[in-house]
Each structure stands twice: as C-alpha cells, then as structure tokens.
Amino acid sequence: MDFKALATEYKTPLYVYDLDYMSQQYEKLKLAFKGRKSILAYAVKANSNLSVIQHFAQLGSGADCVSIGEVRRALLGGIAPYKILFSGVGKSDDEIREAIEADILYINVESEAELNRVEFIARELRKISRISVRVNPNIDPKTHPYISTGLHDNKFGVDINSAKRMYIKAKNSDALDPVGIHFHIGSQLTELKPIYEASEIVADMVRSLEAIDIKLKFFDIGGGLGVEYDGETTIEPYDYAQAILATLKGLDITVICEPGRFLTANAGYFLTKVLYEKQNAEKRFTIVDGAMNDLLRPSLYNAYHKIEPITEVTGETSKADVVGPVCESGDFLAKDCELPVLEHNDLLVVHSAGAYGFGMGSNYNTRGRSAEVAVSNGKSRLIRKRERFEDLIALEKEFLI
C-alpha cells in the first residue's frame, strides 16, 4: 500500500481500508463453517462506513446492528432485510417499531421488559415479530473488562432461567415468534475454551427448549474473534468453528456469526502527519495531526496500535509518546513508541485501525473527523469526505440570536 501517495492525495489525518483484505477474512470465516447452514452477519459497529457495508453485502453478508441507525445503514448498503439482526440492551419504542416494519430477520431481545415492549408494539402493528433471546452464560471471556459482555455483572442479555421464561412467553404469544438464541461473551477473544463453554451452555438450552416443543432455527454465536495487534496468538477460524459445531451435534440449526473486528481491524490504517517534536524534562513527545477524537482506542482501553514512520527516516531511535492536539492528557495514540527523530510533515501509519476506529470518533475540540478511503485492486477511492467546520456547526447555526 502506497501510504505516502494516499496521504498526498487525500491529506491527513486519514483512514485507509483494504477491501481485499476484508474479503479474504470474510471468506476464511465463511469457509470454516462450511458443512453447516451459516450466515455471517457483519457487526456494523466495527466500521459502519456505507461503502464498507456495501462491500460485505456484495460478499453475501448479513448485518448485526445495535441501533436503528445501523439497521438503516445496513439496508442502504444493500444488505437484505432477512439477513439483518437488531441487538442492544436499550432499544426505544420507535426503534422496535421500525425494525418490525422493516421485516428484519429477528430482534435480539435482552430483557423481559424489552420482550413485553416488542410484543406490545408488534400487536399494535398487527404483525408477528421474530425474536431471539440474548443469553448471558456467565463465562469469563478473558479479555479487557470494557469489552467483556458474558458475565452476570455485565449489562448484556439475561440468565438461563429468565431466558426460558421468555421463550415460553414468546411461544404462547400471538405477536411473537421465537426463532433464535444469541450469546456474545466479549470482544478480542484469544482463548477458545470460554467460547466452547458458552456455546455448550447455550446449545444445552436449545435442547431443553426442544423438549418443550420450542424449536429454534438460529444459533447466534455473536462476534468476538480476536486479531493480532501486538503479537497475540489468535484463534484460527477453523478451530473456532469446530469448537462451536462440536456443541451442536444432533441439532438442525443455522449458525449465525457476528464478526466485526476480525473482518476489518487489520484491514485499516490511520495515517497521520507529524506536527512537532517536543522534549520535556522527562519525556519526548511526537505531536501529530491525528488525535483521540479520530482514534479513541488507546485513550479508552489503553489499546496498543503499532505505529511506524512512512517517510524514509534514519538515525537513532528513542521512546516517544505519540500525542494529538486535543486538550486532554489522555490524548495519545501510543506511549513509549520507539521512533527515530521526526521532522515536520513526516508521516506515521497507525496499524490495525479498521475496527472501532473511525466509528468511535467524535468532534471533540471542534475537530472535523478524518476522511476515509477504500483501496481495492491497487486503486483508491474516497468513501467519506473530511468533515469541514461548516458540517460541524450545521445543526447549531440557525439558533444564534
């Protein structure tokens, strides 16, 4: 990838996505589940650019969405309604209504109270809402606490006993059709055992539901497959699929997988330009034009992203904090990054930035968000314009008095 040419053409800070890499990851995972009916439902939250969604739609992907905005994006990107799932702990009435009217595959229900709302709204609409229940299997996924979701002290899903009550209610309802079961224990998973254990618990639940004549069609294993940011040993898609499939013996059920990070993280690069070098008494800072409002993960989770100079630079290296212009001490892209002495306008590439990068961005400090570019077959194209000051004030300007 010619980062220098891309930075020259589109300026910095800039997100660049390798669509061909995304395709390879998609095909690898799809292949791992061959021999079973399966749907990969791309987790739109990982990277919700419309062109990225469209790319997955063209590969045959479904979409896992956590707001009606994401459902609308998925539809606009060309994903068929019957491959769209809607998850999330706090869906509003309007969101539930729109999802039912759009006739998506199912709503992933995350509480008994929500099930009551879905039933009420479906009845109002004189429709039957397909639902799945998100089960919290109380398994420690061994990942960062902020992205761990399958323990009883997390806000997600319901315990097995509540889930059972919800399925019985749904089966007896004239407005609900229980078609699936869902779990997602966390993100950036690098150990197989918790996934296997969670899947076993949920598969047993499917069997116990069959025993009371509730036959589900979809076994939704969530997302979570980890990727390499910093030399982690990751799970091979084949082993992942085998672990899941081993728990499903004897069940005729379609597997749904909701990968996000696995498909996009290492397809993405964040390009940023050096503004200044600064040596304080204790510390060297490399100040760049990208910041926490562009890439929040280092500030939010202390996440590691490999950073390298793009421009040819020589000489001794030393440790520097790579920081942005945002007015927060927590605004950094890397701590103690080994870098040569850099000059004004030298370019840095931040790796593994394709998931939870742009999407977590903000306009903090009235900074316009970066442009986004897609590269495929050696050709690049702009897929989101850089935000201008006018875009940032558009919803406020008319209220000046």
Ligand X SMILES: Cc1ncc(COP(=O)(O)O)c(C=O)c1O
List residues binding ligand X (CB under 6 A): 43, 46, 64, 87, 149, 184, 187, 222-225, 258-262, 355
Q: How far is the CB of 180 from ligand X (least distance, A)?
A: 12
Least CB distance to ligand X at residue 319 (A): 30
CB of 212 to ligand X, least distance (A): 26
In the bound state with ligand X, the residue whose beta carbon lies nearer, of 137 and 224, is 224
Q: Least distance to ligand X from the beta carbon of 42, Å?
A: 9
**Amino acid at residue number 249:** K
Would you call 337 a catalytic residue per the annotation? no
Neighbouring-strand partners of residue 372: 15, 384
The rounded distance, in Å, linking the Cα atoms of 212 and 178 is 13
Write out the DSSP string of 145-198. GGGB-SSTTSSSSB-HHHHHHHHHHHHT-SSEEEEEEE---BSSB--HHHHHHH
162 within 8 A of 110, measured Cβ to Cβ: no
- Name the residue nearer to ligand X (CB basis): 178 or 354: 354
Active-site residue, selected from the candidate residues 65, 257, 327, 337: 327
- Shortest distance, position 156 Cβ to ligand X, whole Å: 7
Q: Measuring CA to CA, which residue among 71, 90, 88, 89 is closest to residue 80?
A: 71
Supply the minimum distance, in Å, between the C-beta of residue 87 and ligand X.
5
The overall longest dimension of the chain from CA atoms, in Å, is 73
To the nearest whole angstrom, how small is the minimum distance from the Cβ of residue 9 to ligand X? Answer: 30
Regarding beta strands 307-309 and 347-350, do their DSSP bridges make them parallel or antiparallel, or are they unpaired?
Answer: antiparallel
Tokens, residue 341: 């002495």
How would you write 217-283 as a 3-class SS string? CEEECCCCECCCCCCCCCCCHHHHHHHHHHHCCCCCCEEEECCCHHHHHHHEEEEEEEEEEEECCCC
Q: Which amino acid is at 233?
A: T
Q: Of 47, 145, 18, whose CA–CA distance to 356 is shortest?
A: 47
Burial 86-121 (b: 16+ CB within 10 A, else e): bbbbebeeebbbbbbeeebbbbbbbbeebbebbbeb
Q: Classify each residue of 146-157 as buried b or exposed e, where b means 16 or more C-beta atoms within 10 Å of its C-beta.
A: ebbbbbeebebb
* Catalytic positions: 327
